[in-house]
Structure 1
């Protein structure tokens, strides 16, 4: 038998390069590069704070329900202000709105450090700060995300979204692990203080941007911009089944398949661990998501974005169900990492669908809806999984949630079959 010739070194380098994330947007756009770096640094701090709040609430209450309630406390203001913040982003300077939201988040992180330093130990205070954080995030995120199509050309949007996913998952990976370390070695206030300082990078990036008024407002030059209308964005979605389906797919994954509120209980009861174990569980999906984003060079060659989203959500649900059945920490972490990689694929293509199929004058409102879904879905999922775990067991909550995610996704495909035919070469909202 003849030997198969080994690939030439040049071909191997080419294959490796095509598999890695495309960094062209970072090379060609200084503004996108600064926004990306600032978001990466501040995301690490935000995730440290999220872990610290979760661990602090569980330490004070010993209740998965109370821990899951953290998500509900941020959900209501996130929905209300996320939709309105997106509408505002379509009528005013998006740079200014982003600066306002990032400043508010930095101040709130400082407040959390103060309450921890003085030993307030009041869950109600933590719930209130979480609600205010949701308000600031809901104003900042639509403004920041709706800038991206103005910073890079259309053909670079999939690569830019993949890089944004790398940024987010750097925070989700490094943040919980560093947060768990700081909590264990020092205290809650150390994690909160690092978060407050980290926002400086995001504020600097926003400050360096030029004015980013929406095109419809900038072209008219009207000193009195139109009144922001949330209803206009919802009406736009009503007759755009592909955009609507992209949001519903993520809701199915996050509401039913989000096990985050279960991590403190599973770490203590099932794995006999501590805050460090909680950090590992929280970081595992992000590790998978980060690897998925780092090796996302192939996404620009995929045109059937609808099919990609559907498959990714199904893999997420099955992985979460498997995590619920796992009895060894290493296996649980592996399944969470697989789920995270699938979530990255889903997010890249869902974001690209929205940015490619929506006009600039509507992007702020749709980014507001996107923010509500992406950030609000997991918080509602926290409440759902925490409640089910309180009524049954954390294991049952994780397994049933993953199965429910798969079932919901299949039902959505039956309801919106056109999503299977969505093609990025001819984006149809």
Structure 2
């Protein structure tokens, strides 16, 4: 009980962590503001559902293609500098879009290259940010730091849409002016985040580059891929996580709004309430994780796979429940389990990866997530054309339970987090891949 109490005050006295937390909040707030304003801009310029889908595709494809390159660049040139440059690029893109939207002369066709440019920048933002946190705080504080960052994500999901919506509907502003102001707000958030990272100094002295530092980006990617594939436990866990994402993305992103509208006969306000319930559960799960001793949560492997099996049962119940209050309670529990699992598992993964490999290895995980999510949502949409929405939840929940049970039957995965078992893989440091910050 004494260890969590001693770690928490030290973390909040760490100026490096405070600057990084503030920059992270501004960056995610800018992202959420842009993601709310962009669909409205597409619709205002005469676009329809197909145009919205093409805009999302134009953004996601470059991100999936370049995200592994982004991880290698972050490892070679320092996560802080890559993250800062990508934030400033986001600020410039949103400022240009905001100015054009405010003036009212922005054709719909111009949004496609803009979306593609944002996707390319996001491919460098994600891996560099994931590699920067473990370079900023000591390993023993990673779990609490991840808990704070994921809580920030949940908070921005509430504040970002509200700020963007208020600006879009601002009275007394010309048509498109509110959208322009929303994009300019996002640009200001990204700019603030980039400037805050200038205050983030290296925790250790920078190592001078060696003669091997001329190795190309492709060689670095191959080395990172070889290390990831060679770690059998991490490889199996990444594939498991991709399967879980595939089974849950479709029901939540596509099935849930249809469940609310068609099966329950409710409106969009109730749909938002369900998502808020999930966010509240996630916040509580992250808070509990920072307060409870690790022994109270059990071994990591058992905790992860048992929680996923319970989420499968809750997804089945969500599809069968006729009562809105019960659905809110189940969404809250899904968020609670997700908050408990994600923070602890992410801290274990980050601690397992050598410092000079973190950007690349995390980019492989992000690539898998970026690849399976569109597949899941597309398959969900196709299946709903011939099957009721409740069947989608039942099938996904049963498959989720089955996958979690199979993982529990694997001694390697079940031993994750056990003392002396599946510990961090060792790798001789390569000076050519070290970063200064």
Displacement of 1:358 in angstroms is 1.4
Equivalent in the alignment of 1:106: 91
Distance 1:58 1:37, change over 3 A: same
Equivalent pair of 2:71/2:359 in contact (CA under 8 Å) = yes
Alpha-carbon separation, structure 2, partners of 1:22 and 1:377: 37
Alpha-carbon separation, structure 2, partners of 1:398 and 1:126: 35
Equivalent in the alignment of 1:298: 292
Per-residue displacement from partner, 1:215-259 (whole Å, max 9, x unpaired)?
7xx354459443222222221122212212332232222222121
Equivalent in the alignment of 1:287: 280
Q: Does 1:81 align with 2:76?
A: no
Match of 1:34 among 19, 24, 38: 19
Alpha-carbon separation, structure 1, partners of 2:31 and 2:187: 9
Match of 1:198 among 183, 189, 204: 189
Displacement of 1:139 in angstroms is 0.5
Alpha-carbon separation, structure 1, partners of 2:52 and 2:6: 36
Alpha-carbon separation, structure 2, partners of 1:280 and 1:121: 35
Displacement of 1:261 in angstroms is 3.8
- Aligned-residue Cα RMSD (Å) equals 3.7
Equivalent in the alignment of 1:6: none
Displacement of 1:378 in angstroms is 4.1
Q: Is the partner of 1:90 in helix, strand or coil?
A: helix
Structure 1 stretches lacking a partner, 5+ long: 1-13
Distance 1:239 1:365, change over 3 A: same
Equivalent pair of 1:73/1:130 in contact (CA under 8 Å) = yes
Q: Structure 1 residues 304-313 or 180-189, which shifts more?
A: 180-189
Match of 1:244 among 231, 235, 244: 235
Alpha-carbon separation, structure 2, partners of 1:386 and 1:403: 19
Match of 1:421 among 415, 420, 431: 415
Displacement of 1:421 in angstroms is 0.8
Displacement of 1:320 in angstroms is 3.1
Equivalent in the alignment of 1:159: 144
Alpha-carbon separation, structure 1, partners of 2:81 and 2:319: 44
Displacement of 1:412 in angstroms is 4.3
Alpha-carbon separation, structure 1, partners of 2:393 and 2:179: 28
Q: What TM-score results when the alignment is normalised by the length of structure 2?
A: 0.78
Distance 1:313 1:76, change over 3 A: farther
Q: Structure 1 residues 403-412 or 339-348, which shifts more?
A: 403-412
Match of 1:256 among 236, 239, 247: 247
Equivalent pair of 1:51/1:279 in contact (CA under 8 Å) = no
Distance 1:318 1:105, change over 3 A: farther
Displacement of 1:203 in angstroms is 1.1
Per-residue displacement from partner, 1:176-213 (whole Å, max 9, x unpaired)?
45555555667554543332222233212222123589
Displacement of 1:83 in angstroms is 0.9
Displacement of 1:162 in angstroms is 1.4
Q: Structure 1 residues 110-119 or 352-361, which shifts more?
A: 110-119
Distance 1:323 1:299, change over 3 A: farther
Equivalent in the alignment of 1:372: 367
Please give the residue correspondences for 1:306-325 in structure 2 after superposition, counting only pairs within 5 Å: 306-325=301-320
Q: Is the partner of 2:77 in helix, strand or coil?
A: coil
